[in-house]
Amino acid sequence: MISNKTLKTSSDIELKPFYSSSNSAHEDTSLPGHYPYTRGVYETMYRGRLWTMRQYAGFGSAVESNKRYHELLKKGQTGLSVAFDLPTQMGYDSDHIMSTGEVGKVGVAISSIEDMDLLLKGIPLDKVSTSMTINATASILLSFYIAVAKKRGISTDKLNGTIQNDILKEYIARGTYIYPATPSLRLITNIFEFCSKNVPNWNTISISGYHIREAGSTAAQEIAFTLANGVTYVESALKAGLKIDEFAPRLSFFFNVHNNFFEEVAKFRAARRMWAKIMKEQFGAKSEKSMMLRFHSQTAGSTLTAQQPENNIVRVSLQALASVLGGTQSLHTNSMDEALGLPTSKSATIALRTQQVIAHESGVTAVTDPLAGSYFVESLTDALELKAQQLIQRIQDLGGVLKCIESGWIQKEIQEAAYRAQKEFESKEQIIVGVNQFQADDSESFDILKINPKIEKDQKLRLKKFKKNRKQRDVQKYLQYLSEAAGKNDNLMPFILQCAENKITLGEISDCLRKSFGLYKETITL
C-alpha cells in the first residue's frame, strides 16, 4: 500500500496526484478515475494501491507448483497466477492416452478436486487473489477451486480471482478449444450468472488480447479483436437474459506488452476509452464499474530470445514500465530463460524483482498517468483508437466475430501482420539485438528447468487411487444429472460444481459435455 501523504522528488519538488492542462476544453472528462477513463480507472491509481504482482507459474505436479507459489509469495508476490498443463486445458485427465508425454510439461496437472487441494495447500483463499489461465475447461477448474474453499469452510463471497474463460481467442489464435462456439458461449454466460449470485468478487472472464498479439497481430489489431470479442460476450449474456450492470463490472481484460514503448502506453489508454464508450453508448450501462476496463498485462513472450537470454531482462523491464505507465491493474513479468524452457527459481525471482524495482525505486507510481499531455502519446492514443474502431466496424460489416472466425478473416489479418513483421526482421528493417544484429560468437550454458518423467507416473498412480476410493454409483448419478441439464437450458455451473464435490474428474466432466455438445472443427483458410 502506498501512502497518500505528500510526495516529493529528491530535489524537494512536491508532486501532484496528477497533472492536466487548465486550459483544456475537456478538463472534466480527462481526469483519472472518470469516464471515459483514458487516464486510468482509479483517481489515485498507484498512490492508493500498487498493481497486483502476479507471476504466472505452474509446472509438474500440484505439490511442486505449490512450493513455487509459497516461494513467490514469500518473496513479495501479491497474487497467484496458475499455469495448467495441456491435458488439463484440453479436458483430459492425466491418465488419458492423449495426455501421454504432456503431463505437467507446460503447466501443472490438475485432474481432480484432490489435485486442486494439493495445489492450494497452505494458501489463504479468502486473502490471496488467484488467477487461472484456463478457457475450455474454465467452468470445471473454477468448480474445483470453489469446492476446495467450501471444504475449508471459506464462504464463496470471500473468494477473489479471475478465470481467463475466453474461448473466442482460442478459435482465433491459440487452439485450446473443445466444444463449438454456441455451447462454449453458453458455458461462459452460465459462469457470469452463477458468479454474480454466488461468487460476487470473482472476475468471470479475462478477455484476452495477449494471445492474439503473440500470434502476430499489431497493437491496433490487439485492441480491435479483443474489444470485439468482449462485445460478443456481452451480447451473448444479454441474450441469455442477464442485466448489463449485473455482470459487466466483473469483466476484465488481458493484454500483451511489446517493445514499442510509447505505442504500448497509448494502446492501454485507447482501449480503456473505447471500452467505456462501448459499454455506455452501445449497451446503455449505468454503473461506472461496468464501463471500467480493468486489465492484467504480461510482457511479450514472443519477444524473448534464446540468443543472449540476459537481454530479455532489459526487454521485460522496458515492457513492464510501459504497462505501469499505461495503468495496469495486474502484471506478470516473463523470466529471461522462457525462450529455452520453464523459468528456474532464480530467473523467476529476477522477473519479480523487476516489478518491485519499478514500484519502489523508479518514482513512476507517484503520479497518475504521468505521460498524459505528451503530444506524442496523446496523438498515438487517438490514432490507435481510430485504427481499432475501423477494424471493429469491418468485423460488424462482415457479420460479427463468429462469422469472421468461421470465414477465417480475423486469422488471416493476423497472419498477414505476422508475415510483414517477419519480412522486416529478415531485411533487418527491424533489429532484434543478438539475433539479426549484434550476435555473439560464444554460446553460454544456462540451467534449464526440466520436468522429471517420474511426475507423470506418480500423477497417474495418485489419480488411479483417487478414482478407486470413491462411490462409483455417485459418479454415474451426477454425470447423468449434468448430461440431462446440458440437454436443456439449465445453468450448468451448479451441476459441474456438484460433480467436482463428488470426486468426478475433469476428464469425466469434459467427456460428458463432449457427448452433449460435440467438438469444434477449425475451418482451414488458405
| DSSP assignment of 48-61 | T-PPEE--EE--BS
Helices and strands (H and E) in the chain: how many:
20, 12
Q: What is the extent of the structural domain holding 185?
A: 7-426
Look at residue 519 and tell me if it is in a domain: no
User: Which H or E run contains 404?
Assistant: helix 401-407
Compute the average pLDDT of residues 398-421.
97
Look at residue 210 and tell me if it is in a domain: yes
Task: State the pLDDT confidence band at 442, using cuts at 50, 70 and 90.
Answer: low
Compute the average pLDDT of residues 136-155.
98
Please name the amino acid found at residue 212.
I
Q: What is the pLDDT of residues 503-521, one digit of tens each?
A: 999 999 999 999 999 999 8
Task: State the pLDDT confidence band at 525, using cuts at 50, 70 and 90.
Answer: low
∠ Cα 54 230 39 (to 5°): 60
Task: State the pLDDT confidence band at 450, using cuts at 50, 70 and 90.
Answer: confident
- Domain tally for the chain? 1
CB 32 within 8 A of CB 40: yes
Look at residue 378 and tell me if it is in a domain: yes
Look at residue 475 and tell me if it is in a domain: no
Check residue 121 and give its pLDDT: 97
Check residue 5 and give its pLDDT: 73
pLDDT for 408 beyond 80: yes
256 grid coordinates: 500483451
Task: State the pLDDT confidence band at 26, using cuts at 50, 70 and 90.
Answer: very low
- Cα distance between the two ends of the chain: 52
Instruction: Give dist(CA 525, CA 326) in Å, integer.
Output: 36
Check residue 3 and give its pLDDT: 46
Instruction: Give dist(CA 129, CA 123) in Å, integer.
Output: 10
With cell 504482482, the residue in question is: 53
Q: What is the pLDDT of residues 212-241, one digit of tens each?
A: 999 999 999 999 999 999 999 999 999 999
Look at residue 172 and tell me if it is in a domain: yes
Taking all residues of the chain, what is their mean pLDDT, rounded to a whole number?
94
pLDDT for 22 beyond 60: no
Q: How far is CA 248 from CA 151, 274, 287, 339, in A?
A: 29, 15, 9, 36
Check residue 446 and give its pLDDT: 74
Look at residue 246 and tell me if it is in a domain: yes
Instruction: Give dist(CA 118, CA 323) in Å, integer.
Output: 33
Look at residue 443 and tell me if it is in a domain: no
Task: State the pLDDT confidence band at 25, using cuts at 50, 70 and 90.
Answer: very low
Please name which of 311, 341, 300, 136 lies closest in space to residue 215, comparing C-alpha atoms: 300
With cell 509438474, the residue in question is: 60
List, in sequence order, every beta strand (DSSP E) within 10-62: 14-15, 52-53, 56-57
Mapping DSSP to helix (H, G, I), strand (E, B) and coil, where does residue 130 land? strand
Look at residue 488 and tell me if it is in a domain: no
User: Percent of the chain having pLDDT more than 70?
Assistant: 97
* CATH number where 315 lies: 3.20.20.240
User: Which H or E run contains 253?
Assistant: strand 251-257
Mapping DSSP to helix (H, G, I), strand (E, B) and coil, where does residue 254 land? strand
CB 223 within 8 A of CB 274: yes
Identify the sign of the CA torsion 18, 24, 27, 31. Answer: negative
